[in-house]
Structure 1
Amino acid sequence: MGISRRCRSVIVGTDWWTDSDDVVAMRVLVWAEQQGMVKIAAVGMSACMPYSAASLDAFLTAEGRPGVRIGIDIEATDFGKVPKYQKNMAERLNGAKRNEDCEDAVRMYRRTLAEMPNKLDLIEIGYQQVLAALLQSPGDDLSPLTGLELVTLKVNKLWVMAGHWENDGSGVENNFARNRRSIVAGHHVCAHWPTPITFLGWEVSNKILTGGTLPEDDNVALALRDHGFPNGRSSWDPMLVLLACLGDEEEAGYRTVVGTAHVDVDSGRNSFDVHADGKHAYVVKVHPDEVYREAIDRILESCVRSDL
């Protein structure tokens, strides 16, 4: 897998809550910016617990990327689980940012999109209620455009970790079907998002464990251990982030199935209609799992700092 040098601005959405692969993904994201592949415009948080902003801001600072604009859906407290890695990370890294210090996530997206002179890409590794609410947002003091108009004008493409696509494009997966909030959001985004979307599904990364080769005192390794995965975690989020930062499915080692994705508004089950003129696609691996695992682990290991 080569490295694309076409630098694009990105906004990244993360739940940073119910699993630890988000931590691995954020290291990949900062690495990609350091390689000149992307520019991190902002990060939106689609889930909220007491140490959300403190741990994420402190982690990004420790990774060499302080001052990232962070927005949060402060009402999104209903996804379950309270991972101890957030509290431990915030305390260990002296995280001082409070959830209340962050802008509302939808307003942050609107502000960032309105300010952008050129189109950017959106990357989503969490739940999609912020994106759905963005589409439905009216004009305001930041922009007279509706959210749908802003996205149409300012977004090139959306990259999403969601869905279970291997059984004829039909399955049930956490980011779509976690709860009522995520189901309704996934349904709305699939039905109304105006730009192309590429999905990386659960089946792509479930058996690809990364992060298990890091030193024990590394921040990513500590988060994985705190969450019960000292030997590495399934690579759903980091593989989607690397794919999106490369910006080309074939270059990243995938073929695509093109058509239209759907999420059933009652069950959260995803399905896919295959047709050549669709705006949606999901990816299928073309290499053995080891190729993708080694690519992620090389990135993680290259970012280990002696002062962590």
Structure 2
Amino acid sequence: MKKYLILLFSFLLLACGKAKNSDIPIVNLILDTDMGPDYDDVGAMTLMYALADSGQVNILATLSSNKDEQAIPCIEVINEYFERSNIPVGAPKNIAPSLTTWHKESKWTDYLPSHFKHKTHKTSDAPDAVQVYRQILSQQQDTSVTICTIGFFSNLKYLLESQPDQYSPLNGTELVRQKVKLLVSMAGEFPTGRGEFNIKCDAPAAKKVVETWPSRIIFSGFEIGKDILTGKEVAQMSIKNSPIKDAYQMSLSQDNPEGRNSWDQTAVLVAIKGYKPYFKIKLGTIQINDTTGTNQWIDDTAGKHAYLIKEMPEPEIAAIIENYMKHQPLKK
């Protein structure tokens, strides 16, 4: 165990050292989350901010694919906590899922906005996510943006269908083709899925996106995060007035005190750090049934899609993710 901890510590130091190397390109990231039904989104945003504070990622926007009225306030609570209140937010204005947490007692989605600072009163008050996408993408260099979706595909569908506007003369598909180099998605189950949550909640949007998205898509499937449990150490931190600790402490006590599945964290980790050495990938094409939300996979070395396969042992990946999730704002 001692040897393992030394190796893990050395790995994390190396990662942080690389962050300060000017030869390593900074990832320009847009995060699209369904904040609310589950709290792995909270852990995923914390991981993102840990890597942002070490100089590895430039966060362009934090958008909600969930229309629940607490989604944007919860996103803003985390943005504010990490001293990034200026990061744009946005939410769907068209048809999209609206889901809250399943917890019946001590709902963290109610607690965070009522106890921590945020600007937007409710999700429906936020700007249109598609307009935020278009404005931000139009300002970026070509093929320079990574999008990470850890929720529904609704916003991405509407982005692809969007028309020229004051931000760009390009339609949505053309704008994505010009500006986006990679889409990383927590969605599906591989090689065959029976209706994974993020796909099933808006299966027509998922089908539209996977069939027409211009760039490569890397999928972190249900099976990847299922057995990577994190959050126990976060819930036990001694720090006070932390929305991250509070969300996990409140929720794990109602679920599994040993940790929550790290579905969203794995996708954000790969979007920023790349899939190596944590995972390897299988190339091919995903097919989605827009009625049932089931997915199938066709192997193809020339395919534009890829799904993750675990390379590191699960406890090692969990320890790395947990360490990032314990990150605190630099001023605290």
| TM-score (norm. length: structure 1) | 0.91
Q: Distance in 2 between matches of 1:274 and 1:259?
A: 4
Instruction: Give the one of 244, 265, 272 matched to 1:220.
Output: 244
Structure 1 residue 101 displacement after superposition = 4.3
Q: Report Cα offsets for 1:113-151 as digits up to 9, x if no partner.
A: 111134211110010011011111111121110000000
Q: Which residue of 1 aligns with 2:25?
A: 6
For residue 64 of structure 2, what is the aligned residue in structure 1? 45
Pair 1:103 & 2:127 matched: yes
Who is 1:210 aligned against?
230
Within a 5 Å distance, the mapping from 1:274-285 to structure 2 comes to: 274-285=299-310
| Alignment-derived partner of residue 178 in structure 2 | 153
Q: Is the 8 A contact 2:30 2:59 kept in 1?
A: yes
Partner of 1:90: 113
Q: Normalising by structure 2, what TM-score?
A: 0.85
User: Residue 130 of structure 1 corresponds to which residue in structure 2?
Assistant: 155
8 Å Cα contact 1:53-1:102 kept in structure 2: yes
Q: Does 1:71 find its partner at 2:90?
A: yes
Distance change >3 Å, CA 36–CA 116, structure 1 → 2? same
1:249 maps to which of 263, 270, 275: 275
1:28 alignment partner AA: L
Counterpart Cα distance in 2 of 1:14 and 1:25: 9
Structure 1 residue corresponding to 2:200, chosen from 177, 180, 191: 177
Shift of 1:225: 3.2
The answer to whether 1:36 aligns with 2:60 is no
Taking the aligned partners of 2:307 and 2:194, their CA distance within structure 1 comes to 13
CA gap 1:109/1:137 in 2 versus in 1, 3 angstroms: same
What is the aligned residue count? Answer: 300
Aligned residue for 1:60, secondary structure, equals helix
Aligned to 2:140: 116
2:189 is paired with a residue whose SS is coil
Q: Does the aligned pair in 2 maintain the 1:159–1:199 contact within 8 Å? A: yes
- Checking the alignment, whether the CA contact within 8 Å between 1:17 and 1:48 is kept in structure 2 is no
- Inter-CA distance 304–61: structure 2 relative to 1 (3 Å threshold): closer
The 3-state SS of whatever aligns with 1:281 is strand
Cα–Cα, structure 1 residues 254 and 74, in superposed 2: closer, same or farther, change >3 Å? same
CA contact (8 A) 2:146 2:182 kept: yes
Report which of the two structures shows the higher radius of gyration computed on alpha carbons: 2
Q: Deviations over 1:68-89 (max 9, x none)?
A: 1001114566443346212211
Q: Does residue 196 in structure 1 map to residue 220 in structure 2?
A: no
SS at match of 2:308: strand
Match of 1:65, as an amino acid? R
- On the 8 A contact 1:134/1:147 being kept in 2, the answer is yes
Match of 1:27 among 46, 52, 57: 46
Q: Given that residues 100 and 109 in structure 2 are in contact (C-alpha distance below 8 angstroms), is that contact kept between their aligned partners in structure 1?
A: no
Structure 2 SS opposite 1:188: helix
Q: 1:96 is matched by which residue type in structure 2?
A: K
- The root-mean-square deviation of aligned C-alpha atoms, in Å, is 2.0
Do the aligned partners of 2:64 and 2:89 also contact (CA within 8 Å) in 1?
yes
Letter in 1 for 2:213: W
Flag the 1:39–1:11 CA change in 2: closer, same or farther, 3 A. same
Q: Which runs of 5+ in 2 are unaligned?
A: 1-10, 19-23
Cα distance in 1, alignment partners of residues 95 and 87 from structure 2: 21
Report the identity percentage: 27
| Aligned partner letter, 1:263 | I
In 2 relative to 1, CA 76–303 (structure 1 residues): closer, same or farther, beyond 3 Å?
A: farther
Alignment of 1:288-299 (within 5 A): 288-299=313-324
Deviation of 1:184 (Å): 0.3
